[in-house]
Amino acid sequence: MSSETDPENPTSNSGKFGNWMFIALFWLGALGIAGWFGWQSEQKRLATRIPEALEGSRTGVSIQASRFNHFVVEGLVNGYPVTFLVDTGATDVSIPASIAEKAGLTGGRWVEVTTANGIISVQNARIEELKIGPLVLNSVNASINPRDNDEIALLGMSFLSYFELIQRDGTLEIRVP
């Protein structure tokens, strides 16, 4: 009798299929873990990116898109270094509470705002000076997000609306109009 049809034979095809499934799951798990570490590495690399002044200009910055098509840029909030994710969908600059404290921001009135993660309460604030490369604005509206423990702030329209934004070929230019 053939081993393929003998249910009592331990070398039958059903056992081989189980072994192949185990091997496939192992490699899928290994690739998933490698992908996660690659993503973490990309986040750390983005956090150290410094904006480049536009060639021949002191009136703007040029930001390369990350591997995930996000635009991340370093800036200063009241002289304190902050990593920003450019977010044209955010009304205000949104600062995590941990960064706000270090940058000397004081929260004002509590308001509810709608975010991608739902409705949350934030504190209104005003940034005395917000600087991205050569671009500087004073008295910028901001929100302090007490629920955000991340070390990345959102660069929203309370800053961006004063500038011209040009996105082309994986590059975002923020410049004086």
Query: Which pairs count as long-range contacts for 59-62, CB under 8 Å and 24+ apart, including other chains?
Result: 59/134, 59/135, 59/175, 59/176, 60/133, 60/134, 60/135, 60/163, 60/164, 60/173, 60/174, 60/175, 60/176, 61/132, 61/133, 61/134, 61/135, 61/173, 61/174, 61/175, 62/171, 62/172, 62/173
Confidence category of residue 33, pLDDT binned at 50, 70, 90: confident
Judgement on whether residues 61 and 132 belong to the same structural domain of the protein: yes
- Sheet of 60-64, strands arranged across: 52-53, 60-64, 171-175, 164-168
Our count of domains for the chain comes to 2
pTM, rounded to two decimals: 0.68
Tell me the residue range of the domain where 30 lies.
1-47
Judgement on whether residues 26 and 72 belong to the same structural domain of the protein: no
Judgement on whether residues 71 and 156 belong to the same structural domain of the protein: yes
Judgement on whether residues 85 and 34 belong to the same structural domain of the protein: no
Judgement on whether residues 24 and 65 belong to the same structural domain of the protein: no
Listed residue (108, 84, 99) closest to 156, CA to CA: 84
Taking the C-alpha atoms of residue 62 and residue 98, their distance in angstroms, rounded to an integer, is 28
Q: Are 162 and 94 in contact (CB under 8 A)?
A: no
Q: Which two tokens stand for residue 174?
A: 């923020």
Judgement on whether residues 35 and 64 belong to the same structural domain of the protein: no
Judgement on whether residues 163 and 85 belong to the same structural domain of the protein: yes
Judgement on whether residues 18 and 90 belong to the same structural domain of the protein: no
Judgement on whether residues 133 and 90 belong to the same structural domain of the protein: yes
Q: Which carries the bigger pLDDT value, residue 115 or residue 162? A: 162
Judgement on whether residues 148 and 73 belong to the same structural domain of the protein: yes
Query: What CATH number does residue 122 fall under?
Result: 2.40.70.10
Q: Which of 47, 62, 79 is the last residue of a domain?
A: 47
Judgement on whether residues 65 and 145 belong to the same structural domain of the protein: yes
* pLDDT higher than 90, residue 58: no
- pLDDT on residue 10: 55
* pLDDT higher than 50, residue 46: no
Judgement on whether residues 63 and 129 belong to the same structural domain of the protein: yes
Q: Which amino acid is at 56?
A: G
Q: Which two tokens stand for residue 96?
A: 């995590």
Taking the C-alpha atoms of residue 33 and residue 54, their distance in angstroms, rounded to an integer, is 38
Q: pLDDT tens digits, residue range 111-135? A: 998 888 889 899 999 999 999 999 9
